[in-house]
C-alpha cells in the first residue's frame, strides 16, 4: 500500500490545482519556464534541476553540506523562497528571504516572535512542530485541534513526541490534545510526515546542471 494513501495523504498537494485560477497560474508558468531558464542562464545564474527531487530538497542538500562551506570558501548562503519549509535548513551561515513579503529569517530571528507561530529553539523544533500540526498549503493533515504554537508548547513541556506519549500513559498529561498526539496512528503518521518534510541530505541525487548531467550532487557540482 502506498504510504501516502495509508496515512490519508492521497491528495498531497492537490489543492495547488483545486481551482481554475490555480490551474491557470500553473499552466502560465509552464509556458514561461523555458524563457525564465534561458534568461537566468544568460545572466550567469547557475541552475540545477533533478528529475527525482524538488527545489526544497536540492536547497536542503546544498545548505546542509557544511564541509563544502570550508572547501569552497563560502561564507553565507541566502535561500530565496516563499516556502517556510526551507527554514529547517537555516543555520549560522544560512538564512532565508522571501521576495513576496520582503521578510528575512535567520537562526537568531527564528528564536524570536519574528518567526510566525514562534519563537522556535531550533530549525529541528520547527520541523517537529509542523509535523504535528500539518500543513494545509500542501494538504497534509495534522493532529485535530493542534496548531504549531500548541505543538511547540507541548513538545517543550514533555520533551518531545516520546515524552508526550509517556506523560499520557502515566496520567501526568490529561489534556485532550496530548492524548490525541499520543495515539499510535498519529505517532506513526507524524514520524512519517517529519520524514516527508525533512530536507536533510540522504543519498546522491541524479541531476542536471544547465542541461549537463552528472551522477553526484552537492555544492562541488555547482562550482566545479
Task: Give the global pTM.
Answer: 0.74
Q: How many residues does the chain have?
A: 224
Q: Does domain 3-65+118-223 have CATH number 1.10.150.20?
A: yes
Nearest to 175 by CA among 153, 142, 149: 153
> pLDDT of 62-113, one tens digit each?
888 878 787 878 889 999 999 998 998 999 999 999 999 999 999 999 999 9
Number of helices (H) and strands (E), helices first, in the chain?
11, 6
Radius of gyration of the chain (CA): 19
- 77 SS3 class: strand
In the chain, what are the domain boundaries? 3-65+118-223
Query: For 170-199, how does the pLDDT look when each residue is reduced to its tens digit (9 = 90+)?
Result: 999 999 999 999 999 889 888 887 877 676
Residue 13 contacts by C-beta under 8 Å, 6 or more apart in sequence?
138, 139
- Closest-CA residue to 92 (of 112, 75, 68, 71): 75
Q: All 3 cell numbers of residue 191?
A: 514520524
Residue 155 has pLDDT above 80, yes or no: yes
Amino acid at each position: 500500500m502506498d504510504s501516502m494513501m495509508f496515512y490519508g495523504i492521497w491528495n498531497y498537494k492537490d489543492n495547488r490545482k483545486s481551482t481554475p485560477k490555480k490551474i491557470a497560474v500553473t499552466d502560465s508558468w509552464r509556458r514561461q519556464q523555458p524563457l525564465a531558464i534561458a534568461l537566468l542562464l544568460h545572466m550567469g545564474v547557475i541552475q540545477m534541476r533533478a528529475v527525482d527531487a524538488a527545489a526544497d530538497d536540492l536547497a536542503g542538500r546544498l545548505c546542509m553540506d557544511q564541509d563544502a562551506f570550508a572547501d569552497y570558501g563560502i561564507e553565507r548562503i541566502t535561500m530565496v523562497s516563499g516556502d517556510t519549509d526551507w527554514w529547517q535548513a537555516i543555520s549560522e551561515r544560512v538564512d532565508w528571504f522571501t521576495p513576496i513579503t520582503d521578510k528575512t529569517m535567520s537562526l537568531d530571528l527564528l528564536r524570536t516572535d519574528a518567526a510566525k507561530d514562534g519563537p522556535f529553539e531550533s530549525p529541528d523544533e520547527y520541523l517537529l512542530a509542523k509535523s504535528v500540526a500539518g500543513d494545509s498549503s500542501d494538504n497534509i493533515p495534522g493532529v485535530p485541534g493542534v496548531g504549531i504554537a500548541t505543538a511547540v508548547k507541548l513538545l517543550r513541556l514533555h520533551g518531545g513526541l516520546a515524552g508526550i506519549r509517556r506523560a499520557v500513559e502515566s496520567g501526568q498529561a490529561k489534556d485532550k490534545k496530548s492524548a490525541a498526539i499520543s495515539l499510535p496512528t498519529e505517532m506513526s503518521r507524524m514520524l512519517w510526515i517529519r520524514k516527508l518534510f525533512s530536507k536533510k541530505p540522504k543519498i546522491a541525487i541524479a541531476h542536471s546542471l544547465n542541461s549537463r548531467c552528472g551522477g553526484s550532487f552537492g555544492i562541488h557540482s555547482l562550482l566545479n
